[in-house]
Structure 1
Amino acid sequence: MTEDSKEEKVEKEHEGTLDEETLFIVSQTFKVLSDPTRLRILNLLFGKEYSVNEIAKTLYLRPSTVSHQLRFLKNLRLVKYHRKGTSLYYSQDDEHVMNMLKQTIDHANH
């Protein structure tokens, strides 16, 4: 994206319109965050990394369910992973979305 097109994009957003790419990313993010299982996984990943089996055990879910949900979160770059031996360890990867999630949880608890 060129500097001119970035400026045009920012101007449109300030005028109240959004480009198609931004609309798609925002709508997909909210779609992913609308699932209770994915919210539980993201909440668990706030301060620590976990393997699929650790997430499954902590949240009382099947490992296959956790893997399926992590795939959605990874595709939107909300989580990242690294390999240790034969296990994949996941952690949060988007500080902005995680802060929004934390604020929403705090709001719901008041």
Structure 2
Amino acid sequence: MSEIKKINQDVLDDANKIFKLLGNPVRLQILYILSQEKLNVGNIAEILELEQSATSHQLSLLKEAQLVTSERDGKSIYYQLDDNHVSHIIEDTLKHVEHSQKHKE
């Protein structure tokens, strides 16, 4: 048998944190929305029909995990995905779900 590699423990721990964050439907929706357009907290809260404080809290967690970044434009702070890797995770997950659902029918 060839040498089977394992994930480095630090990488494994960080990846686990990301998957836990993605396991929350609100955060997943936020990431999906931000994969389409850069938005501020008010826009995101309005789209998801959430309080701004709840939306800000979720964005803070996503920013801490480096899944989103923010930039100030005047008095507003706009959020966007940190990089294309995040977008690929969301897209690939949704494609897998759609594929799995088709096979259930």
Q: TM-score range by the shorter chain?
A: 0.7 to 0.9
CA positional deviation for 1:106: 2.0
Q: TM-score, normalised by structure 2?
A: 0.85
**1:36 paired to 2:25:** yes
Gaps of 5+ in 1: 1-13
User: Which has the bigger relative contact order, CA under 8 A and spacing at least 6?
Assistant: 2
Paired residues of 1:73 and 1:79 also in contact (CA < 8 A): yes
Paired residues of 1:81 and 1:91 also in contact (CA < 8 A): yes
CA positional deviation for 1:107: 2.2
* % same residue: 37
**1:72 paired to 2:61:** yes
User: How big is the alpha-carbon RMSD for the aligned residues of Structure 1 and Structure 2?
Assistant: 1.4
**1:50 paired to 2:45:** no
CA positional deviation for 1:72: 0.8
**Which residue of 1 is the match for residue 86 of structure 2?**
97
**Which residue of 2 is the match for residue 8 of structure 1?**
none
Counting matched residue pairs gives 97
Gaps of 5+ in 2: 100-105
**1:59 paired to 2:48:** yes
